[in-house]
Copies of this chain bind each other. A is one copy, B any other.
Amino acid sequence: MGKGITSRDEDYSQWYIDLVKKADLAENSDVRGCMVIKPYGYSIWESIQQGLDKMFKDTGHVNAYFPLFIPKSFIAKEASHIEGFAKECAIVTHYRLKNAEDGSGVIVDPDAKLEEELIVRPTSETVIWNSYKRWIQSYRDLPLLINQWANVVRWEMRTRLFLRTTEFLWQEGHTAHATSKEAEKETLLMLDVYADFVENFMALPVVKGRKSEGEKFPGAVDTYCIEALMQDGKALQAGTSHFLGQNFAKAFDVQFAGKDGKLDYVWGTSWGVSTRLIGGLIMAHSDDDGLIIPPKLAPIHVVIVPIFKSEEELEKITEKVDVISAELRRKGYSVKFDNRDTHKPGFKFAEYELKGVPIRLAIGARDLENGTIEMARRDTKEKKVVPFDEVTVLIPVLLDEIQANIYQKALKFREEKTTKVDSYADFKKMLEEKGGFFLAHWDGTKETEAAIKEETKATIRCIPLNAHDEDGKCIYSGNPSKRRVLFARAY
């Protein structure tokens, strides 16, 4: 067990917090609810950004940047949007400080009050659609396929590093289309992009689905999501993609002239993922010794630890190691050679296990004689001694194997933790005893959804897109149902 890390069995929440802190990913700042993302944590975010940004561009999107501040009147224009975001926003009311006349320090200058308050963006639909009004006149201006990388603020009462913070980093795509069909297609395309990224880069299987009416985004016609399962049996919403219909176009009066010259409101989508993904990455794969980071997102792919008794031995090892480091870097891998003489190999091994470096190489005097090197993988902790000359060929293969293994392990876990239930009693019992995902019939009403949430803290995560028709009875009301939906307790 990692030094100072609570075990998952003992206290899963504390294990998570310990891991985030000990692995130097992030910490709470002295600013309420806001985190500091430390360099190691931020480098994971940079990998996520690079991977996603390429996928967005490959699907025809471009980046832009819109203002941080949203006038209060903008956010109030879409009725359900203001309803959803009014309770959790940071409000700028003044624009100047001054020295207090009584010498007691610096105060807000009452003369510098804004005529209209500004909201720090919780999401940018309103400020972006206000621009789209200027940009869109004709069908020739459509589609607009724009993404923004930005910080957003939601005034959360209970925060947890990465998973729920007052300020977080994210991307938000905002597209505009000439037809409903095209916008719906975009909504589902981006859901697929997210699922592809989370499964193939983050090695985390997801269920794609549609949110119930009660859980959808304020201002959307339909919200789609990807849901992943964490090791404690709770769900994590990893990304959402919204079909906005003409709601924001109507709120901001964005109309376009079609080929026939007729005016119609524009159809919209929006979609986002955030630094929350890092929380999911940690919670899904890591163990009691530290992080397990899938190679495709790992800031360091290979760490090399020399085992030496003298300066002379270290020199000989360094000479050999330099060759493989250079070769691996040429192949595009990130390699760290930890030649510190202030720490013992065992200490270093534990440190890189904690940090989740996928492959560790160790090489000592005997290896030099034998032409070997020890190769250890973080996910299974297997070690083997391999011929030194083969290691640069073995590493790319092993990294692929680790990536696949982490995914398979998470997939197997999810399958074991996905239960079909047909009675409310079973549902409640299994929720307590086993946790995880539950596929159950639901009568489709808000009332039932709310009652189940109230009584069990489980929510409808989504109506899975791959669910087939199946007649059944709602586990709560006994009323007829056409298909099963996905229930879970969630982050």
Contacts and interface: CB of A to CB of B under 8 A. Distances in A.
A66 interface: yes
Given A90-B92, A106-B72, A151-B151, A29 B66 contact: yes
A30 B91 contact: no
A329 interface: no
Interface string A328-353: 00000000000000100000000000
Most chain B CB inside 10 Å of its own CB: which residue of A27, A31, A45, A342: A31
Contacts of A326: none
Nearest to A157: B95
A86 B91 contact: no
In the complex, the count of this chain's copies comes to 2
A87 interface: yes
A487 B105 CA distance: 37
A94 B93 contact: yes
Contacts of A39: 62-64, 146
A136 interface: no
B127 A95 contact: no
B167 A68 contact: yes
A118 interface: yes
Contacts of A134: 27
Contact of A97 (B31, B35, B89, B153): B89
B89 A63 contact: no
Interface in A373-422: none
Nearest to A165: B67
Interface in A85-113: 86-98, 105-106, 108
Contact of A72 (B29, B90, B97, B131): B97
Contacts of A82: 97, 106
A155 B91 CA distance: 15
A45 B68 CA distance: 17
B31 A70 contact: yes
Interface of A: 27, 29-31, 34-39, 42-43, 45-46, 62-72, 74-76, 82, 86-98, 105-106, 108, 117-120, 127, 130-131, 134, 140, 146, 150-151, 153, 155, 167, 169, 342
Given A34-B67, A82-B106, 17 more contacts: A36-B67, A36-B131, A38-B64, A42-B62, A42-B63, A45-B65, A46-B63, A68-B153, A72-B97, A72-B106, A72-B108, A86-B97, A90-B94, A90-B118, A91-B94, A95-B155, A140-B342
